[in-house]
Amino acid sequence: MANITIQNVHKAFGEVVVLEDFSAEFRDGEFVTLLGPSGCGKTTMLRMIAGFEKPTRGTIKIGDRVVTSPDTFVPPERRDIGMVFQSYAVWPHMTVYENVAYPLRIKRIDRDTIQQKVEAVLEIVHLAQYAKRIPSQLSGGQQQRVALARALVAEPQLLLLDEPLSNLDAKLRDSMRFEIKEIQKALGITVVFVTHDQIEAMTMSDRVVVIYKGIIQQVGKPSEIYRFPANQFVADFVGKINFLHAMIDGTKLLINGTDQSLAYRGPLSGSVVVGIRPENIRFDSKSNDLTGTLLSQFYLGDVNDCRIDIGGQVIRVIAEPSTFETHKEGDVVKLRVEEFTTFMDDSFDDHQKIIT
């Protein structure tokens, strides 16, 4: 079993707190992604699971085995984990084939099996024709795939991947995402994947752990994170979203600077922020949801990408391409809002300072 239990893990480097009270449970066979902006603590968490870093406090279990606690520490080589580091390290003096074969050699697997497995995995990472080269004769993206092949070949129960696709071009990255996912499903292994790329997180994961400033913001399936973000940070970090400032008045959300409102049923009161995804707004002349002035529109073939002024607050609307013909800049347009989320109007300025 390769489920991972992380209990109240806290990590500080000197005075600097990097992770705070991190608790999570990753299931056996699950593909979990740690997602968050640069510096939020993703690599540090992964290194603690692998055993390359000790937490200041807290416990980590792999399966039923405590690997890290105040009085236990299992070294990395005894955790049965495959790992690809962010700064991938491949052995410079070995050929691609030897690099990938190495984990099997030390397990004393027979030559024929090694050859068969190495060839199969090199095929998967599209490096079969480079087997005889040494790393200095490879591009960064090719070296990254050698590191990935070396982690995959031993078929570990638990695979930790720290931005393993960061150096690949868009097409290769797409294909590798698919391959990693297929391998994970076929072998039923647990994967903890680290990225700051929300598309990568959304497309590959069973569940996503969104981290910001060393604190878990939300854990959920990609669709939950996208549709029901726990706070404004998550809403903004995952996908595109408009934020409209508003006031709650009973069952109404009064949009600031207008006499317009959206129907509201929920627990919040006072000053709030309404989050609306651009694709959840439709041009609809019969709707009374929102009215605004079309500031600009860009025909992109599959969509009409618009900016609309709602009483001084500008929102983005991803509309049907046909609306480009039926509307022009300066028009007053009526909009239907299909889905929105409401947040307390609090600490977001803090986040924007960090991100920019």
Interface with ligand ATP by CB under 6 A: which range of 10-18, 66-74, 256-264, 292-300? 10-18
Closest approach of ligand ATP to the CB of residue 18, in Å: 4
Which two three-digit tokens encode residue 110? 């027979």
Among 177, 161, 180, 160, which Cα is nearest to 169's? 177
Q: Is 86 in the site for ligand ATP (CB under 6 A)?
A: yes
- Based on the shown chain and the rule CB under 6 A, indicate whether residue 62 belongs to the binding site for ligand ATP: no
Contact 94, 132 (CB under 8 A): no
Measured from each CB, the residue nearest to Mg ion is 43
Q: Tokens 């980590």 label which residue?
A: 60
Residues of this chain, 32-51, that bind ligand ATP according to CB under 6 A:
36, 38-44
Report the residue from 9, 18, 32, 125 that binds ligand ATP according to the rule CB under 6 A. Answer: 18
Answer for which of 43, 218, 280, 313 binds Mg ion (CB under 5 A) is: 43
Spatial distance between the Cα atoms of 247 and 249, rounded to a whole number of angstroms: 6
144 touching ligand ATP, by CB under 6 A: no
Cα–Cα distance measured from residue 146 to residue 91, given in angstroms and rounded to the nearest whole number: 10
Residue 44 interacts with Mg ion (CB under 5 A)?
Answer: no
Main-chain dihedrals φ then ψ at residue 123, nearest 5 degrees: -65, -45
**96-105 and 140-153 helices, crossing angle to 10°:** 20
Dig out the tokens for 124 from the structure: 């998967």
Query: Counting contacts by CB under 6 A, is residue 196 touching ligand ATP?
Result: yes
| Region near Mg ion per CB under 5 A, out of 51-59, 79-87, 101-109, 307-315 | 79-87
- The whole-angstrom separation of Cα 20 and Cα 120 is 41
| Rounded-to-integer distance, Cα 66 and Cα 22, Å | 16
If the CB atoms of residues 39 and 321 are measured against Mg ion, the closer one turns out to be 39
Q: How far is the CB of 305 from ligand ATP (least distance, A)?
A: 29
Residues lying near ligand ATP in the complex (CB under 6 A): 13, 16, 18, 36, 38-44, 86, 196
Residues lying near Mg ion in the complex (CB under 5 A): 43, 86
